[in-house]
Amino acid sequence: ETGVTQSPTHLIKTRGQQVTLRCSSQSGHNTVSWYQQALGQGPQFIFQYYREEENGRGNFPPRFSGLQFPNYSSELNVNALELDDSALYLCASSLFHGELFFGEGSRLTVL
């Protein structure tokens, strides 16, 4: 059984650029959530997708957007990057409520 995989693991962007992060969910999991974790803080919920539809969103601006594909994999897109967007972005898949399986994350640095 393959776990949650994310790519890329590290990337560096400059302010104003756009970034796409990718996530492959654990086999059979139909729900994907994205979290942002700033240094020294707990993860903060961005949004979740269920069967290709956004199914809940945290307190993040519209320049954070996402997609879920028929195979349940997902993308997180961030436009007009700001310095404060520097963080670890975590993807989690789930089948049962509350039991999330997280990937290792994509560490984004915005210069």
Partner 1 sequence: DAKTTQPTSMDCAEGRAANLPCNHSTISGNEYVYWYRQIHSQGPQYIIHGLKNNETNEMASLIITEDRKSSTLILPHATLRDTAVYYCIVGPQDDYKLSFGAGTTVTVRA
**Which parts of this chain interact with partner 1 (CB under 8 A)?**
4, 31, 33, 35, 41-45, 48, 50, 55-56, 58, 90, 92, 94, 97-105
Q: Is 81 helix (H, G, I), strand (E, B) or coil?
A: coil
Q: Which CB atom, from 18 or from 104, has the smaller least distance to partner 1?
A: 104
Q: Which CB atom, from 64 or from 102, has the smaller least distance to partner 1?
A: 102
Question: How many CB atoms lie under 10 A from the CB of residue 78?
Answer: 24
Helical spans, DSSP H, in 1-111: none
Single out the residue of 29, 6, 16 nearest to residue 104, CA to CA: 6
Task: Report in angstroms how near the CB of residue 102 gets to partner 1 at its nearest.
Answer: 3
